[in-house]
């Protein structure tokens, strides 16, 4: 591992904990649907993912679901002990909206068992010296609100998300000092309302075999708009009613891929790719309005913020979470050659994105077909871009991780050298970004455990800990967990 050469001919040394500031935090990240299980018990209401995986199991690679997941609902003490043993000081998890508000709103009643579970989890973390970083929305919309008015397609969701957020602040704010409103609005919007791969499975009008309804020309922009307003509403409540007393911070986590022009003739394709993904959601909460490119290309289909809303969303975060996994080449498409319908989001962005150029990947992959190509230098470039373009925010890397495909060869999965190299190299470039002045305060590996990976089910394993899904969910440390232990404790 030490002294390997990267794509630029530089030598990458084995990274050390002492290379980072003393107050820099390291931890792992998770989400409720992917981890907790107990999906229909102890008063929890159904989410859109509960409904989607049961109604359309064929949409999940292995026809699985998160009914049991890795059962952290019952095994949280075991998992906290694993974190402590490795040496992590923080844990990012999400609160399942329907575990505490089964019908998605206060008028539908509060589930005391759900409240108790999160108190117990938070208390266990704190008792073991691990600080909780809590995400409020990680893609699990209450199914009751989806049925009632279409979830994030309706402005009513802003009020109900604010209710949910405020309940969390009231209940847990004396213990939780770092709040994250949304996880990856772009991925949620794109996967659920453009290509129809995630719950609610809308969009993809061009593929009649998969079409379940929706309109990718309008719905993504409506959903994205309402999510920005919901984020700002929650932040406003926290800042005006709770922050002074509770002395915490609140931010948002955004997905960020680094885009490289496919050729010298494609610089604007990479620019548009940024504008229609990261900047779609970051630009409004910094400046109060959408990127000019989006306004020009989407036109009247792009919702508008009122003056009051613009004021509310501007600078609506104390810190920015960034999830970074890979980089893509971006190649310009002419509208005449596009196979997508007029007005579709994919016609708007007008770029083909790929990890490969002329058959050569931008970085190492676990398989040629993988969407994840390791491009660690992209993390540094991305962070410098955000610093320069968006007023030098405080940043946490809230997800960064590497997967192996499931295999009957358990020993091979436990000897996960590819994951170790991935973490080491990304941390190397993260340190370089910090040295260049980027205000990064922490790093969260995705993920502690192998878990339910959305449309890929259990066919992908992102964990530092191997989970035996055929043998009582036994947890077994991979070499990457041991590597992190050595990194954090030596």
Per-residue pLDDT 10s for the chain (490 aa) are 334 445 444 557 789 999 999 999 999 999 999 999 999 999 999 999 999 999 999 999 999 999 999 999 999 999 999 999 999 999 999 999 999 999 999 999 999 999 999 999 999 999 999 999 999 999 999 999 999 999 999 999 999 999 999 999 999 999 999 999 999 999 999 999 999 999 999 999 999 988 999 999 999 999 999 999 999 999 999 999 999 999 999 999 999 999 999 998 888 999 999 999 999 999 999 999 999 999 999 999 999 999 999 999 999 999 999 999 999 999 998 654 467 878 899 999 999 999 999 999 999 999 999 999 999 999 999 999 999 999 999 999 999 999 999 999 999 999 999 999 999 999 999 999 999 999 999 999 999 999 999 999 999 999 999 999 999 999 999 999 999 999 999 8
pLDDT value of position 338: 62
- Preceding amide of 8 cis, omega within 30: no
Residue showing tokens 């022009």 = 261
The reply to whether 107 falls in a domain is: yes
| Residue 51 neighbours by CB distance under 10 Å | 16
Is the Cβ–Cβ distance between 362 and 373 less than 8 Å?
A: yes
Cα dihedral 125, 126, 130, 134 in deg (nearest 10) = 70
pTM over 0.75: yes
pLDDT value of position 490: 81
211 vs 218: CA distance, rounded Å:
16
CA distances from 486 to 17, 26, 134 (A): 9, 13, 27
The DSSP symbol for 335 reads G
Catalytic option among 36, 72, 171, 399? 399
Number of folded domains that form the chain: 1
The reply to whether 411 falls in a domain is: yes
CA distances from 403 to 10, 20, 353, 470 (A): 25, 25, 20, 19
Nearest partner of 341 among 185, 205, 203, 195, judged by Cα? 205
The reply to whether 385 falls in a domain is: yes
pLDDT value of position 317: 98
Evaluated on CA atoms 454, 47, 280, 180, the torsion sign reads negative
Give me 395's structure tokens. Answer: 């940043």
The reply to whether 1 falls in a domain is: no
Give me 343's structure tokens. Answer: 């007005």
pLDDT value of position 8: 47
Give me 184's structure tokens. Answer: 């990856």
- Preceding amide of 200 cis, omega within 30: yes
Domain that holds residue 129: 17-264+281-327+341-348+363-489
Catalytic option among 184, 219, 255, 275? 184
Which helix (H) or strand (E) segment holds residue 432: the answer is helix 417-435
Which stretches does DSSP call E strand in 67-165? Answer: 90-94, 131-137
| Residue 7 neighbours by CB distance under 10 Å | 12
pLDDT value of position 333: 85
Give me 256's structure tokens. Answer: 């960020």
Clarify whether 399 is annotated catalytic: yes
* Cα angle 401-434-418, degrees, rounded to a multiple of 5: 25
109 vs 4: CA distance, rounded Å:
57
The reply to whether 26 falls in a domain is: yes
53 vs 69: CA distance, rounded Å:
12
Evaluated on CA atoms 59, 60, 64, 67, the torsion sign reads negative
Nearest partner of 214 among 200, 233, 232, 231, judged by Cα? 200
pLDDT value of position 343: 81
| Residue 97 neighbours by CB distance under 10 Å | 28
The reply to whether 427 falls in a domain is: yes
Distance of CA 378 to the CA centre of its chain: 17
The reply to whether 39 falls in a domain is: yes
The reply to whether 35 falls in a domain is: yes
Clarify whether 412 is annotated catalytic: no
């Amino acid at each position: 591992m030490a002294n390997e050469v990267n794509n630029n001919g530089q030598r990458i040394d084995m990274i050390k904990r002492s290379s980072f500031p003393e107050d820099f935090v390291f931890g792992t990240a998770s989400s409720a649907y992917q981890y907790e299980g107990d999906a229909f018990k102890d008063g929890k209401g159904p989410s859109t993912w509960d409904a989607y995986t049961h109604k359309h199991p064929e949409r999940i690679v292995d026809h699985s679901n998160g009914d049991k997941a890795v059962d952290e609902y019952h095994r949280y003490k075991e998992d906290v002990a694993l974190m402590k043993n490795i040496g992590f000081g923080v844990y990012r998890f999400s609160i399942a909206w329907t575990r505490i508000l089964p019908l998605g709103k206060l008028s539908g009643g509060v589930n005391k068992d759900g409240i108790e579970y999160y108190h117990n989890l938070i208390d266990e973390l704190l008792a073991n010296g691990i600080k909780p970083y809590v995400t409020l929305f990680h893609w699990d919309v209450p199914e009751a609100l989806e049925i009632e008015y279409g979830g994030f397609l309706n402005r009513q969701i802003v009020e109900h998300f604010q209710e949910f957020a405020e309940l969390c602040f009231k209940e847990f704010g004396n213990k939780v000092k770092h709040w994250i409103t949304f996880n990856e609005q772009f991925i949620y919007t794109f996967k659920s309302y453009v290509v129809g791969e995630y719950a609610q499975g809308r969009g993809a009008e061009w593929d009649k075999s998969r079409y379940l309804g929706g309109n990718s020309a309008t719905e993504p922009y409506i959903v994205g708009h309402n999510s920005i307003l919901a984020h700002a509403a929650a932040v406003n409540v926290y800042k005006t009613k709770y922050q002074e007393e509770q002395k915490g911070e609140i931010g948002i986590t955004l997905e960020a891929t680094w885009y490289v022009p496919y050729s010298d003739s494609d610089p604007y394709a990479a620019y548009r790719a940024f504008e229609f993904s990261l900047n779609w959601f970051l630009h409004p909460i910094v400046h109060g309005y959408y990127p000019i490119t989006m306004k020009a290309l989407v036109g009247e289909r792009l919702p508008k913020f009122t003056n009051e809303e613009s004021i509310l969303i501007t600078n609506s975060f104390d810190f920015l979470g960034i999830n970074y996994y890979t980089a893509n080449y971006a190649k310009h498409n002419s509208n005449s050659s596009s196979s997508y319908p007029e007005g579709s989001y994919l016609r708007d962005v007008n770029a083909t994105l790929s990890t490969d150029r002329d058959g050569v990947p931008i970085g190492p992959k676990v398989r040629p077909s993988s969407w994840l190509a390791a491009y660690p230098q992209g993390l540094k470039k991305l962070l410098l871009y955000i610093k320069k373009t968006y007023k030098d925010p405080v940043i946490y890397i809230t997800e960064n991780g590497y997967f192996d495909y499931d295999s009957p060869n358990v020993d091979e999965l436990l000897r996960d050298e590819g994951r170790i190299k991935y973490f080491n190299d990304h941390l190397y470039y993260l340190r370089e970004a910090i040295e260049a002045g980027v205000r990064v305060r922490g790093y969260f590996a995705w993920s502690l455990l192998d878990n339910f990976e959305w449309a890929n089910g259990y066919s992908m394993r992102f964990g530092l800990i191997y989970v035996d899904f055929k043998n009582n969910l036994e947890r077994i440390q991979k070499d990457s967990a041991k590597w992190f232990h050595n990194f954090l404790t030596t």
